[in-house]
Amino acid sequence: MREWARLAGRRGVCHGCAVAIAAMLVLTTVGQARARVFLTRDQALELAFGDGSRVERVSIFMTDEQLSRARELAGDGIELDGALVVQYVGQRNGEPIGTAYFDSHLVRTLQETVMVLVTPEGAVGELEILAFQEPQEYLPKNGWLGQFDGKSLDRNMDLRRGIHGITGATLSAQAVTDATRRVLAIHRALTGEIAGAEAVGGAQ
């Protein structure tokens, strides 16, 4: 899914990181028939923010109002686990790059983990699958994931509207779409309201 040659050419990822990713993919393929890890958290953050950036990990406990707003924005059938949210906020030269979130969820009966980078404008800046435990024939491809780039949270972020499905892998498409909606809803609920939340930050 995330071939190491492609990673080596993106956002200045170092050759050593690309080799490490390639080795991880080989070991994972040999050692695990179904569960595959494509990227670690740190590798995904490097893809999202690139060299020369500062990434701060921030834990936020949403207020009841923020949690209710996030659920409303996410839409019916999309669950939020709780009030605790972990953000990875990227800056370069003092300017915001975006905020990354990691979302783990069930696809059918097994887990998937994705990273969604939200731009300062509130749109999807990057969408990566870090781990996928379902059979690999149901794994969303890069081209399909690319349709989320630049999209904001609205009624068109839906498989019945602006998001194309995946033939034979509807549950995979739905899981990624729901995760992206959930992240954007949480981000929007927190934007401009963070003063009312309890937040603790720290360097990555």
Write down the pLDDT at residue 29: 41
Helix (H, G, I), strand (E, B) or coil at 91: strand
* Gap between the Cα atoms of 9 and 43, Å rounded: 14
Write down the pLDDT at residue 202: 52
Write down the pLDDT at residue 165: 96
* Gap between the Cα atoms of 31 and 29, Å rounded: 6
What tokens does 142 get? 């890069």
Residues 8 and 18: beta-carbon distance below 8 Å: yes
pTM of the model: 0.79
Reply yes or no on whether the pLDDT at 5 is more than 70: no
Cβ atoms within 10 Å of 201's Cβ, excluding its own: 11
For residues 161-187, average pLDDT: 97
Looking at every residue in the chain, the average pLDDT score rounds to 83
Could you read off the pLDDT of 115-133 as tens digits, one per residue? 999 999 999 999 999 999 9
Reply yes or no on whether the pLDDT at 136 is more than 70: yes
Distances (CA, A) of 181 to 4, 23, 80, 135: 28, 33, 11, 24
Residues 123 and 152: beta-carbon distance below 8 Å: yes
Identify the band that residue 52 occupies on the pLDDT scale cut at 50, 70 and 90.
Answer: confident
